[in-house]
Amino acid sequence: MKNDIVLSMSGICKRFPGVLALQNVDFTLCKGEIHALMGENGAGKSTLVKVLTGVYQKDSGQIKLAGIDNEVAIKSPQDAQNLGISTVYQEITLCPNLTVAENMFIGRGNYSFINWRDTHKKASDILKKLNIPTSATRQLGTCSLAVQQMVAVARAVDMDCKVLILDEPTSSLDEQEVELLFSLMRDLKSRGVGIIFITHFLEQVYEICDRITVLRNGELVGAYNINELPRVELISKMMGKELDDLSKLQHRKKEIPENAPYVYEASGLSSAEGTKPFNFEIHKGEVNGFTGLLGSGRSESVRAIFGADKITGGKVKINDRLAKISKPKDAMKYGMGYLPEDRKQDGIIDELSVRDNIILALQVMKGFFRPFSKSEAEAFADKYIKLLGIKTASSETPIKSLSGGNQQKAILARWLLTNPQYLILDEPTRGIDVGTKVEIQKLVLKLAEDGVSVTFISSEIEEMLTTCSRLIVMRDRKIVGELKGEDMTQAKIMHTIAGEATHND
């Protein structure tokens, strides 16, 4: 084997209560390579990284580092750092109100006194060496995000690291900033640092990485050289579907006549959350879906439709009439409902009862001065608790004590109760058991039969294929394609996501 391996992990297992997060995962990193760690949500990428950085303790397996004969035990992030493993996280974990130099040296070494002149000189040298365009005495918070990210990298590198882990470092950077970071990464690579790069942006992987390791459901799918793994194959490996199998998959479709009236039409819609202006329309009784990898902008797009983020442009027509949607309440008035992707942050009001959570949206629509009586609210809540089979001790129970799936059903009940004409469901099936998933899909189809338009987003493509009659494909915050009818196959979707022409073979 190659003798330039800097890190090798073998047979790593990690179990959480009820889940096997990592099963027998092997991973090797060579000197001077940029190695992408890929996988969908819950694939185990971050668990693997956290085992490596000492945040989690592995249950079994070996970690070996170059230059150390025995296997190493990493029990804390401090251990990892001492061994030369440094991490830069997605969110910048530095202190914005300190200077660049202070950020680079804070918390390192056991000194009571500090020589500021030396520190600043040392920091300036490193910045110069790595071509980071900022000065050591500048307050970090006033630098651009990319520079802050690079300072975090510089801090990691200066700690004499052999392994550098970059966990989604580019998600908040624009294209030029990404370029800056990439040139820094190439520079480090030429100095022999092994870099583990985690990202959801495919383009970036193919631009900068040498090798790819793919994980799925906590298991290793394989490690590949970048030029041996076309994008489509990468995606199919991440999703766990062989291309041949995929094309054979049957799916249900519901044809919507071309002349069916539009419920919602948008042109040039864009929001402050970085969605590029897009056009979108949905027929009455249609179920369509936004698909794309995580971070492709599918959630941001539906948030823009509902007015959840600040709208920066575009025209909206509802039932063929011009409409202005600048906040969720506007959308609700037009009979729209939105089940957010992040149930905990955006969905449930956790301390309130299941009943209050169910009636909330309808109550707001009814008006501040017209509260439902207790018996009315009780009746609504009980009806939907029964209808959707929400498992709760009573409607008075705080929603936070329910399981994730039941919380999700309660939020679904909240919007069904408003009797919407257009319902947006962002990942309604995430984190819930299979039975409930099927129920929710059935419910979506049933709603469509009753004339409700539904936009359905799911990370699981099969779900979208069984429910949607049209798919909008997104990549890097842009709509890159629209598939319907015969074109709706997993293979086509993957090709479109990957941005390659479909091959007929």
Between residue 280 and residue 319, which ones bind other proteins under the rule CB under 8 A?
A: 306, 308
**CB-wise, 251 or 400, nearer to other proteins?**
400
Cα 289 to Cα 445: distance, rounded to the nearest angstrom: 13
Alpha-carbon distance 239 to 40, whole Å?
7
- Give least dist CB 393 to other proteins, A: 12
The neighbouring-strand residues paired with 318 are 264, 321
Side chain identity at residue 143, one-letter code: C
Shortest distance in whole angstroms from residue 421 CB to other proteins: 16
Q: Which is nearer to other proteins, 360 or 480 (CB)?
A: 360
State the virtual CA torsion across 414, 417, 420, 425 in degrees, nearest 10. 30
Smallest distance from other proteins to CB 13, Å: 25
Restricted to residues 2-21, the positions that interact with other proteins (CB under 8 A) are none
60 φ/ψ angles, rounded to the nearest 5 degrees? -155, 170
Does 113 help bind other proteins (rule: CB under 8 A)?
no
Shortest reach from residue 405's CB to other proteins, in Å: 18
Question: Cβ of residue 327: shortest distance to other proteins, in angstroms?
Answer: 8
- The count of other CB atoms within 10 Å of the CB of residue 451 is 11
**Sole residue written with tokens 């207790």:** 374
473 burial class (0-12, 13-18, 19+ CB within 10 angstroms)?
Answer: buried
**Nearer Cβ to other proteins (230/274):** 274
| Cβ closest to other proteins, residue 361 vs residue 443 | 361
Closer residue to other proteins (CB): 231 or 400:
400
Question: Which residue among 122, 138, 327, 484 contacts other proteins (CB under 8 A)?
Answer: 327
Which residue, 281 or 346, is less far from other proteins as judged by CB?
Answer: 346
DSSP 3-state assignment of 232? helix
Cβ nearer to other proteins, comparing 178 with 361 = 361
In the complex, minimum distance from the CB of residue 363 to other proteins, in angstroms, rounded to a whole number:
6
In the complex, least distance from residue 207 CB atom to other proteins, rounded to whole angstroms: 34
x/- binding map, residues 410-449, to other proteins, per CB under 8 A?
Answer: ----x-----------------------------------
Helices (H) and strands (E) in the chain, counts: 17, 19
At its nearest, how many Å lie between other proteins and the CB of residue 18?
18
> How would you class 231 by CB atoms within 10 Å of its CB: exposed for 0-12, middle for 13-18, buried for 19 or more?
middle
33 binds other proteins (CB under 8 A): no
- Residue 210 DSSP SS3: coil
How many of the chain's residues bind other proteins (CB under 8 A)? Answer: 27
Stretch near other proteins under the rule CB under 8 A, chosen from 115-123, 282-290, 322-330, 457-465: 322-330
Q: Buried (b) or exposed (e) across 383-422, using 16+ Cβ within 10 A?
A: ebbeebebebeebeebbeebeebbbbbbbbbbbbbbebbb
Phi-psi category of 257—alpha, beta or left, where left has phi over 0 and alpha has psi -120 to 50?
A: beta
What's the sign of the alpha-carbon dihedral 297, 303, 308, 312? positive
Indicate whether 378 belongs to the interface with other proteins (CB under 8 A): no
Helical pair 490-498 and 231-239, crossing angle rounded to 10 deg: 130
- Number of Cβ within 10 Å of residue 135's Cβ equals 14
DSSP 8-state secondary structure symbol assigned to residue 499: T
Q: Is 459 in the site for other proteins (CB under 8 A)?
A: no
Q: Which is nearer to other proteins, 212 or 323 (CB)?
A: 323
Radius of gyration of the chain (CA): 25
Pairwise CA distance, residues 481 & 289, whole Å: 12
Query: Please, which residue, 367 or 485, has the CB nearer to other proteins?
Result: 367
Query: Nearest approach, Cβ of 328 to other proteins (angstroms)?
Result: 5
Q: Does 457 bind other proteins (CB under 8 A)?
A: no
Write down the least CB distance from residue 349 to other proteins, Å. Answer: 5
Least distance between other proteins and beta carbon 218 (Å): 25
Short-list 277, 424, 428, 407, CA closest to 352:
407
Cβ-based nearer residue to other proteins, 346 or 460: 346
Q: How far apart are CA 11 and CA 305, in angstroms?
A: 46
Q: For 501, what's the count of Cα atoms within 13 Å in the CB-facing half-sphere?
A: 3
Compute the distance between CA of residue 260 and CA of residue 470 in angstroms, rounded to an integer.
14
Min dist CB 146 to other proteins, Å, is: 26
Closest CA to 425 of 450, 448, 397: 448
Q: Given the complex with other proteins, which of 156 and 305 has the nearer CB atom? A: 305
Q: Which is nearer to other proteins, 210 or 309 (CB)?
A: 309
223 binds other proteins (CB under 8 A): no
Residues in the chain: 505
Name the one range near other proteins by CB under 8 A: 91-99, 254-262, 323-331, 474-482.
Answer: 323-331
Q: Which is nearer to other proteins, 364 or 387 (CB)?
A: 364
Contact letters (x/-) for other proteins, 332-371, by CB under 8 A?
x-----x-x----xxxxxxxx---x---xx-xxx-xxx-x
Check binding of 375 to other proteins (CB under 8 A): no
Which residues sit at the interface with other proteins, rule CB under 8 A? 306, 308, 327-329, 332, 338, 340, 345-352, 356, 360-361, 363-365, 367-369, 371, 414
